[in-house]
Amino acid sequence: EPQKGDNLFLVKPIESLSSDYKFDYGELNGRDSLLFVNRLIRLRNILDSTGKKMLDEYCDLDTNSWHSILKRGEIADFNNEIALINGNIIRTRDSTYFFLLFSSRSEYLENFKIFLHQYDTDGNKVNFDFLPVPRTHTWVQWDQYLCIRALPNEPGSFRYSLGFFNEEGRLGNPVNGRFDHKSTDNH
């Protein structure tokens, strides 16, 4: 029977390539969908505090722990080739998610990796570099690409640095910030 209502997603079971392993995603509500959360983040970024409160109450979400990487209206530009147009950090019970929405600004992009470095309060670095999917050399100019990176939860606050690089070096200047899971204003 089809589901009805706002923000519902029907997910079909996925057959595993291994006959020994079977996984069924089951039914997901909007709060369990990373795509829904990203759309909600984008909508929240254009609302004032009253609108955010109304949306949070309607969706029954606790967004106090969400952290915006960019200030409202800000865009992080990487040598006018790629732009970070929206970024949020969301801590769940077991993971810290970086939601990064990029826009390709160049007609021809090289193949880049995303570097994501986490620094603890003592300055120790943990490297969470990753390849975006799809790869940057396939990105179409002005299209938007959502990249999500999960990090294990660490107690307390941390600093981070993110950007693009390849074997020739970094692309532009990195985005640097601080995440304090007790506060949403970390700029």
117: helix, strand or coil: strand
107: helix, strand or coil: coil
CB 116 within 8 A of CB 130: yes
In this prediction, residue 163 carries a pLDDT of 97
In this prediction, residue 117 carries a pLDDT of 95
36: helix, strand or coil: helix
Work out the number of other CB atoms within 10 angstroms of the CB of residue 178: 13
User: What are 15-43's pLDDT values in tens digits?
Assistant: 434 344 333 333 334 445 666 676 777 77
In this prediction, residue 181 carries a pLDDT of 65
Residue among 179, 161, 169, 174 nearest 118 (CA): 161
Return the exposure string of 95-132: e unless at least 16 CB atoms fall within 10 Å of the residue's CB, then b. Answer: ebbbbbbbbbbeeebeebbbbbbbbeeeeeeeebeeeb
CB 104 within 8 A of CB 79: no
Structure tokens at 116: 């994501």
Cis, peptide link before residue 174, omega less than 30° from 0: no
Average pLDDT over residues 155-172: 93
User: What are 148-161's pLDDT values in tens digits?
Assistant: 898 888 777 899 99
In this prediction, residue 65 carries a pLDDT of 67
Could you give the CA distance from residue 133 to residue 26 in angstroms, rounded to a whole number? 24
Least confidently predicted of 47-51, 56-60, 68-72, 130-134: 56-60
Q: Is the pLDDT of residue 184 over 80?
A: no
In this prediction, residue 182 carries a pLDDT of 61
pLDDT higher at 123 or 164: 164
Q: Which residues contact 102 (CB under 8 A, 6 or more apart)?
A: 82, 83, 84, 85, 132, 144, 145, 146, 147
Average pLDDT over residues 33-59: 75
User: What are 78-135's pLDDT values in tens digits?
Assistant: 999 999 998 888 887 778 889 898 999 999 999 999 999 999 888 899 999 999 989 9
Amino acid at 74: E
Amino acid at 122: D
pTM given for the model: 0.71
pLDDT higher at 64 or 15: 64
* Total residues found in the chain within this entry: 187
Q: Is the pLDDT of residue 3 over 60?
A: no
